[in-house]
Amino acid sequence: MPRPKVYVTRRIPREAMAILEAYCDCRVFAQEDTPVPREMLLAEVADVDGAFVLLTERVDDELLAAAPRLRVVANMAVGYDNIDVAACTRRGVLVTNTPGVLTETTADLTWALLMATARRIVEAQKVIERGEWRTWSPMFLTGQDVYGRTLGIIGAGRIGSAVARRARGFDMTILYHNRRPNPDLEAETGARYAGFHELLEQSDFVVVLVPLTQETHHLINEDALRRMKPSAILINASRGPVVDETALYKALTEGWIWAAGLDVWEREPIGPDHPLLALPNVVALPHIGSASIATRTRMAVVAAENLVAGVTGRRPPNLVNPEAWDRRPAAAEGADQGG
Ligand code: GLV
């Protein structure tokens, strides 16, 4: 049997590359650390069985049409809003993600952002860098307390639950809002389920960790922001379009809320001219939630394992669209090799 062909859209850690190369013939977009140009991507996928992609690649009908042999798309991320999963499922293309391995690392970053925003860490460093630190002063760079306050988590799945576990160490009251109550989280952390509006109105910290879907697009809009306390802090470590940035700008400049910590943006990457960066009460990060060396390596390995499983006829461990398993061309041909 010929070795499966796969396309890898960026240079990835060698541990992951070794897994791919053991089973597949690989081509890699290795020219630079930027997304592969769309036209090149469409040409590169023309003959491949599998694609290893990042959240910077859009996998849609156009790409699928350009990739008639494609059987597996392995996303190196837990979120997969860059992929039209329904379109993949219609064509029997398996889609995989990397859940689990980035949970704790992303919860750590969410907390780093929360603490930095509450205590004005970035602003404080800039004061020193500008030579503006003249003396100790009673109300100089005073921020918000974290301990003992109320944390509201919107989207308490794996990462949200890990954020809640950390909050116990700060003696916080924990509220959460999900589509469904999460009794395990309640038992483990004492978190209490709250309605969306109740959570917004009562929380000192509103942490957004929902996946981006049609329902969550601009979930944090003008109405939501107006419901928050004037002393509240918004933290977004999910996907940028969950927050309406125009409404957020108004909220921050008109004092509806106190500050925001953002790891993700409506249109990434942003540059220094982004309006929110001009505000002192914004802490801005370039989408680094899962970016520890160990975790990014594990994510690449997991994505590689998913891809190899799919292109060698096995059911990938992290299959996002199980319905596609029975629709894949191999199943139609009766060539199922197990799974
Ligand atoms: C990163 O944002 C991810 O979804 O893994």
For ligand 1, the distance from its centroid to the CA atom of residue 78, given in whole angstroms, is 5
| SS3 of residue 226 by DSSP | helix
Q: Which residues, in sequence order, are CB contacts of 156 under 8 Å at separation 6+?
A: 163, 164, 176, 177, 178, 182, 185, 191, 209
Which pLDDT score is estimated for 333? 58
Instruction: Let me know whether 261 and 133 are in one domain.
Output: yes
Q: What DSSP designation does 9 have?
A: S
Instruction: Let me know whether 252 and 158 are in one domain.
Output: yes
For ligand 1, the distance from its centroid to the CA atom of residue 266, given in whole angstroms, is 14
pLDDT tens for each residue of the chain, 339 residues long: 799 999 999 999 999 999 999 999 999 999 899 999 999 999 999 999 999 999 999 999 999 999 999 999 999 999 999 999 999 999 999 999 999 999 999 999 999 999 999 999 999 999 999 999 999 999 999 999 999 999 999 999 999 999 999 999 999 999 999 999 999 999 999 999 999 999 999 999 999 999 999 999 999 999 999 999 999 999 999 999 999 999 999 999 999 999 999 999 999 999 999 999 999 999 999 999 999 999 999 999 999 999 999 999 999 999 999 999 999 876 655 444 443
Name the β-bridge partners of 25. Answer: 5
- Our count of domains for the chain comes to 2
Task: Write phi, then psi, for 160 (nearest 5 degrees).
Answer: -60, -40
Instruction: Let me know whether 107 and 96 are in one domain.
Output: no
Residues catalogued as catalytic: 239, 268, 287
Which pLDDT score is estimated for 328? 86
Which pLDDT score is estimated for 31? 87
> In this structure, which long-range contacts are made by residues 77-81, counting pairs with CB atoms below 8 Å and at least 24 apart in sequence?
77/290, 77/299, 78/102, 78/159, 78/290, 79/55, 79/211, 79/212, 79/238, 79/239, 80/55, 80/320, 81/55, 81/211, 81/212, 81/213, 81/239
Give me the domain span that covers residue 183.
103-284
For ligand 1, the distance from its centroid to the CA atom of residue 77, given in whole angstroms, is 4
For ligand 1, the distance from its centroid to the CA atom of residue 186, given in whole angstroms, is 25
Query: CA 302, CA 112: separation in Å to the nearest integer?
Result: 26
Assign 3-state DSSP to the chain and report helix, strand, coil percentages, each to 5. Answer: 40, 15, 45
Which pLDDT score is estimated for 30? 92
Instruction: Let me know whether 300 and 196 are in one domain.
Output: no
pTM of the model: 0.96
Cα dihedral 331→333→335→339 (10° resolution):
0
Which pLDDT score is estimated for 339? 37
Instruction: Let me know whether 35 and 17 are in one domain.
Output: yes
Instruction: Let me know whether 114 and 255 are in one domain.
Output: yes
Instruction: For residue 287, give the ligand 1 atom closest to its CA.
Output: 2
| SS3 of residue 154 by DSSP | strand
Q: Which H or E element spans position 206?
A: strand 205-208
Residues with CB under 6 A from ligand 1: 55, 77-79, 102, 289-290
Residue whose CA is at the smallest distance from ligand 1 atom 3: 77
Which pLDDT score is estimated for 297? 98
Instruction: For residue 77, give the ligand 1 atom closest to its CA.
Output: 5
- Identify the CATH number of the domain in which residue 63 sits: 3.40.50.720
Instruction: For residue 239, give the ligand 1 atom closest to its CA.
Output: 2
Instruction: Let me know whether 233 and 271 are in one domain.
Output: yes
Give, rounded to a whole angstrom, the gap between the first and last alpha carbons of the chain. Answer: 19
Residue finishing a domain among 262, 284, 306 = 284
Instruction: Let me know whether 91 and 194 are in one domain.
Output: no
Instruction: Let me know whether 328 and 204 are in one domain.
Output: no
CA atoms within 13 A on the CB side of 265: 19
Instruction: For residue 264, give the ligand 1 atom closest to its CA.
Output: 2
Residue finishing a domain among 252, 267, 284 = 284
Residue whose CA is at the smallest distance from ligand 1 atom 1: 77
Count H helices, E strands: the chain? Answer: 13, 12
Which of 56, 106, 320, when mutated, tests ligand 1's pocket best, judged by the most ligand atoms within 8 Å of its CB? 106
Nearest alpha carbon to residue 267 among 245, 289, 293, 235: 245
Instruction: Let me know whether 86 and 154 are in one domain.
Output: no
Instruction: Let me know whether 245 and 314 are in one domain.
Output: no
Residue finishing a domain among 284, 307, 330 = 284
What is the CB neighbour count within 10 angstroms for residue 96?
A: 27
Pairing of strands 205-208, 282-284: unpaired
| SS3 of residue 192 by DSSP | strand
Instruction: Let me know whether 144 and 260 are in one domain.
Output: yes
For ligand 1, the distance from its centroid to the CA atom of residue 223, given in whole angstroms, is 27
Length of the chain counted residue by residue? 339
Residue whose CA is at the smallest distance from ligand 1 atom 5: 77
